[in-house]
Structure 1
């Protein structure tokens, strides 16, 4: 059957695409062999592959073969990266996942655009034009700036180059494929550019190749559908920037965490509405206040609580953000998506709040917590341990977020008591999963003094318990995923 497919017109195109994409890597290897800098060969292959993806709607009659190509090259690039092959695309940035992230980005991009409607191809093509041209230009400008003395991952000049190229490309595509007014087109192009530039600036290790595409699609698809207006887009970006500034200025988040939090806030305002905004405000505001006021978080010198990082923002809010994105791009005929997505959003934040409140209040308990692993008393703050005070805090935290959702009229069953009950239950389920994972999966080490610690005491140290690489952020992400899935399941079964 497969052999017959290869002799069809589409099969021939797939073979040609495989050969062509492989040939691009071969050209890169030849250029590297001839002395061309590996940063240049990497940019050449990156730009060529991205432009190919943008052209796939012109080459193929349906998106299915493009899915297949994306999966094949994601696996090939992952293997080559691990084996340190293809130096033309891996040698310049050996720790980067960019060559894997690019083909992986094709999967959600196709699912949100071409697979839904040919009308959405505009968003797909714009995303990969920006990725294929603006991103390499920004890299080149940033590299030149670094040579002149700059040392930041994403230089200001590189970000400006990215933004300038992206806005021109977006205007070009929108002008060619829509009949929007000049004002709407300009606002859409500027908004798309600002969001994509923000994402490009905060991503690390090549994951901008994935998230730039997601960001552009997440802006343009709702704009095309009319569910996002340019005024909402402008308002979301403005309020998101304000949120990020306040979070950084008050010491709640570090620089990259504040920028990521600002993008999340912009998404809530632009794509969600009050029913989405209020649970987010309640979670972040009350959790930050608890952390700041907790005397155990301060040193003996009276220093302020440490700023939360980008990884912590994503661990606590990443699942909720993904749920919002799914609802924003889902076609109208999938009528159950808004309710299920909103439940997952609130369930994830409820779990994050439950865990945060349990941790913060548990540290001030006069009674040491019990370890879920050994059922013995352990010091306060130990991963995988529970206490009566902390458990009470978990209930309060989950209730705060669930209550905000119910009071703002989120799209659920319409029965406030039942909605609140299963959302609080979802949050507690997520908190319990977090605690169990902390006890059995999170890596724990022995320090030289014999104490249990969560960071390796030496670079070559192996965990005595748990799995290497599983830290608190992974555990928190797992907990919020369980909270979101529990709430989603509740809606599907009882909504």
Structure 2
């Protein structure tokens, strides 16, 4: 699967290696866990390709040119899920299982919200202040994107039930955890994620070089808090929320 994804330019070479490791960890937990991870990756990659040209045009001044997923991106989105799934199999504890599913639901919510919001949403608004933001800039939300994120979380929860990794009784808890994780991603993106600014255009961006050709400078947020770090934190939030929702 990693080799096919690499040939399709969905994964870089480093991303393919990371995908093998994350996938092998999931498969060690049980094939159902691996199938769920593959299903999430295929669906998310397909959604990313829908309207790719239009989405790139909207974010050309904000985001670096899209490319295949790197090892860091693979681990940031699937690492918590794989480790928690393996821990669930080895320990037999239910909270590890729901933590794994909450983490993957959060990753799905974040990806689906971003892709659907860029495709059909209007100008995003800041999740903390409500002011208008550049399309693609972390911390911005749209109603279509928010609904799409909820759909992504529900899709993971529903697939988990179908694969008998969870019972129907926890369907909404996993979905809710994914939504919380996705919103947590936006909140971190709006507050502490590193943002850059173009001195010539006076616009915020996440590009090292703005589309006008001028090198950008760090303007706010923690320098080490990259988008990948925020994604990793979001999966932790989703995992924690899933456990919290199911505490008696």
Shared fold, TM over 0.5 = yes
* Map 1:234-253 → 2, pairs under 5 A: 243-253=1-11
* Map 1:149-168 → 2, pairs under 5 A: none
Alignment correspondent of 1:285? 42
Question: Residues 366 and 424 (structure 1 numbering): CA distance in 2 closer, same or farther, change over 3 Å?
Answer: closer
Q: C-alpha separation between the residues in 1 aligned to 2:121 and 2:28?
A: 44
Alignment correspondent of 1:193? none
Alignment correspondent of 2:14? 256
Alignment correspondent of 2:177? 426
Q: Determine helix, strand or coil for the equivalent of 2:120.
A: coil
* Map 1:77-226 → 2, pairs under 5 A: none
Alignment correspondent of 1:21? none
Q: C-alpha separation between the residues in 2 aligned to 1:366 and 1:486?
A: 27
Residues 102, 239 of structure 2: 8 Å contact kept? yes
Residues 105, 152 of structure 2: 8 Å contact kept? yes
Alignment correspondent of 1:452? 204
More helix by share: 1
Rg (Cα) greater in structure: 1
> TM-score by structure 2 length?
0.87
Q: Which runs of 5+ in 1 are unaligned?
A: 1-242
How much does 1:326 deviate? 2.1
- Is structure 2 residue 156 aligned with structure 1 residue 398? no
How much does 1:366 deviate? 4.7
Alignment correspondent of 1:342? 97
More strand by share: 2
Question: Residues 474 and 267 (structure 1 numbering): CA distance in 2 closer, same or farther, change over 3 Å?
Answer: same
Higher RCO (CA 8 Å, separation ≥ 6 residues): 2
Deviations along 1:271-304, whole A, 9 cap, x unmatched?
Answer: 3222x1232122101100011223335579xxx9
Q: Determine helix, strand or coil for the equivalent of 1:452.
A: strand
Aligned CA-pair RMSD? 2.3
How much does 1:263 deviate? 1.9
> TM-score by structure 1 length?
0.45
- Is structure 2 residue 69 aligned with structure 1 residue 308? yes
Q: C-alpha separation between the residues in 2 aligned to 1:350 and 1:271?
A: 18
Alignment correspondent of 2:88? 327
Aligned residues: 236
Question: Residues 440 and 447 (structure 1 numbering): CA distance in 2 closer, same or farther, change over 3 Å?
Answer: same
Question: Residues 366 and 389 (structure 1 numbering): CA distance in 2 closer, same or farther, change over 3 Å?
Answer: closer
Alignment correspondent of 2:31? 273
Match of residue 380, structure 1, among 108, 120, 135: 135
Q: Determine helix, strand or coil for the equivalent of 1:364.
A: helix
Alignment correspondent of 2:62? none
Deviations along 1:466-487, whole A, 9 cap, x unmatched?
Answer: 1111110011111110001111
Match of residue 294, structure 1, among 36, 48, 51: 51
Alignment correspondent of 1:351? 106
Deviations along 1:432-480, whole A, 9 cap, x unmatched?
Answer: 110000000101121132121124559x976322111111001111111
Q: Which runs of 5+ in 2 are unaligned?
A: 59-64
How much does 1:363 deviate? 0.5
Deviations along 1:141-180, whole A, 9 cap, x unmatched?
Answer: xxxxxxxxxxxxxxxxxxxxxxxxxxxxxxxxxxxxxxxx
Deviations along 1:367-409, whole A, 9 cap, x unmatched?
Answer: 2111124311222212101101101110111011111001111
Residues 354, 398 of structure 1: 8 Å contact kept? yes
